[in-house]
Structure 1
């Protein structure tokens, strides 16, 4: 009896492996929060927040704000984009706005008209500097 409840709670709290999709020809206006991956082939005007990967297909358009773990962009994004790990811009990508990411890869041909901050590298350097300072004080 108790083991069944634990299993149900564990499944409910784990991120979904399912992929959500906004199909081509669909326009969605509003905010979306998701646990799994997300593929956008249509248009999203608003905010998309997910713990998974976001793929913006060639026909995909996002205008607004997006926060995710990883992202591949073939279509268009305009607004504020925060990617915790890796952002890959394909040759057909068009990005306008503000980008914050850990890693950035841009294929030749992509339009990248944005301010960009690479956060993970800065954090690691500061952590290394602090650890060296602590080692110097203890020696």
Structure 2
């Protein structure tokens, strides 16, 4: 029943590499929230929250309708929603962001478009996010 064969332990281990990069490819559409630990790149469409403890990259064809929560982000595509970034938010050339931003550091190329408010007070960030979400709910109820 029990074996002392040491090779049986090695046979059960997987030799497949593990990856902490998640990719939502072009042509893929996701309805719902995405929560992960590692980096994520979005080249498709996501309707919902995207949350990670690492970096989010929204590719040139990527489109997110929903909130982003992450450590850092590079936006090349379109985001409509609240963005909360602990460190650096970088809007690249053709980025289009519609919504409020909460970040410690913000960089934007001249041709990027940003329509919203930017909050950079680290102590008030959590309260501001809650306040921002309540304002979104009120605006939705009025519409």
Q: TM-score range by the shorter chain?
A: 0.7 to 0.9
TM-score calculated relative to the size of structure 1? 0.74
Contact 1:102 1:121 in 2 (8 A): no
Partners of 1:66 and 1:122 in 2: how far apart? 18
Deviation at 1:67, TM superposition (A): 0.2
Partners of 2:19 and 2:105 in 1: how far apart? 23
Q: Which has the higher helix share?
A: 1
Structure 2: give runs of 5+ residues left out of the alignment.
Answer: 1-17, 126-143
| Residues 71-97 of structure 1: per-residue CA shift (max 9 Å, x gap) | 000000001110000000001100001
Q: Please identify runs of 4+ aligned residues in structure 1 that moved more than 4 A.
A: none
What secondary structure does 1:109 align onto?
A: coil
- Residue 91 of structure 1 aligns with which residue? 93
Partners of 1:36 and 1:62 in 2: how far apart? 18
Equivalenced residues, count = 108
> Which of 48, 65, 68 is the aligned partner of 1:63?
65
- Residue 53 of structure 1 aligns with which residue? 55
Structure 1: give runs of 5+ residues left out of the alignment.
Answer: 1-15, 124-139
- Residue 20 of structure 1 aligns with which residue? 22
Partners of 1:81 and 1:122 in 2: how far apart? 15
Matches within 5 A, 1:1-139: 18-120=20-122
Deviation at 1:119, TM superposition (A): 2.5
| Residues 28-75 of structure 1: per-residue CA shift (max 9 Å, x gap) | 010111000000000000001100100000000000111000000000
